[in-house]
Amino acid sequence: MDTEKWRSRLAIGHWFSHLPESFQHSLLAQARLRQLAAGQTLFKRGDPPCGLYAVLDGTLRISAVNEQGKEAILSLVEPPYWFGEICLFDGLPRTHDACAVGPCTLLQVPQQALLNILDEAPHYWRNLALLMSQKLRLSFIGLEQLSLMPAPVRLAHRLLMIVEGYGDIEHSRRVLQLPQEDLAAMLSLSRQTTNALLKGLQAQGVVRLGYGEIEVLDVQRLREVAHT
């Protein structure tokens, strides 16, 4: 594995770039590459813990499906997003499904290998707690918006979260491989409502809609709509 290549890819993320260098080295020393084909499942709800992951290339869908087959999409994550730390803390099964949207390359630090690192350096637990607390904070914001914010604001805020890597990247990405039906599922909106809201943003020059993708043309304007 080309460790330095992946270190530079991961370093664009706030969490990894602010880890102690020794912890970065330990994670990469124990990591292995995982390649997923489009539509391939990484793990499903109820699966045993299998470690910590980082997305290196491609997009992964984090979701849950009920007994009637209805899917709730929590997020679509891209590089350099890290996930899987909840099971590290409680040792319980996976809470959601993780599936590759297209071809996807992941870095996996196996559960036992990571626990061994933490046994040797317990102060690294704080770094993992920061990773989890960032997601918990975003979850609380999402719940608040679902209850209190109008649909246009919720949609703009979710797009902003995705282009900013859920708060983990300094430079916004502009083109999102994000089908409108997936965005609608994230926001508990109909496909028709989501399309109408996106077309409104397109008319304002904020986004450009393409097949299976959304290009953000004006991040600052999107930020203004999200905080209206």
List the pLDDT tens digit at each of the 228 positions of the chain: 677 788 888 998 999 999 999 999 999 999 999 999 999 999 999 999 999 999 999 999 999 887 777 888 888 888 999 999 999 999 999 999 999 998 999 999 999 999 999 999 999 999 999 999 988 888 888 788 777 889 999 999 999 988 888 777 766 678 888 889 989 988 889 999 999 999 999 999 999 999 888 999 999 999 999 886
Q: Are residues 154 and 128 in the same domain?
A: no
Q: Are residues 126 and 158 in the same domain?
A: no
Region of residue 39 (left: phi > 0; alpha: psi -120 to 50; beta: else): left
Q: Are residues 109 and 160 in the same domain?
A: no
Q: Are residues 184 and 88 in the same domain?
A: no
Any domain includes 16: yes
Output the pLDDT for position 110: 97
Q: Are residues 30 and 104 in the same domain?
A: yes
Output the pLDDT for position 32: 94
Q: Are residues 25 and 54 in the same domain?
A: yes
Q: Are residues 121 and 191 in the same domain?
A: no
Q: Are residues 16 and 129 in the same domain?
A: yes
Q: Are residues 131 and 161 in the same domain?
A: no
Q: Residue 43 maps to which CATH number? A: 2.60.120.10
Any domain includes 8: yes
Output the pLDDT for position 173: 72
Output the pLDDT for position 1: 61
Q: Are residues 112 and 159 in the same domain?
A: no
- Work out how many domains the chain is built from and give that number: 2
- Cβ proximity of 171 and 11 under 8 Å: no
Q: Where are the alpha helices (DSSP H) in the chain?
A: 3-10, 14-17, 21-30, 85-90, 111-120, 125-148, 151-163, 180-187, 191-203, 219-226
Nearest to 131 by CA among 45, 53, 63, 32: 53
Q: What is the pTM of this model?
A: 0.84
Q: What is the dihedral of CA 39, 108, 49, 95, to 10 degrees?
A: -50
Range of the domain at 179: 150-226
Q: Are residues 170 and 125 in the same domain?
A: no
Output the pLDDT for position 228: 67
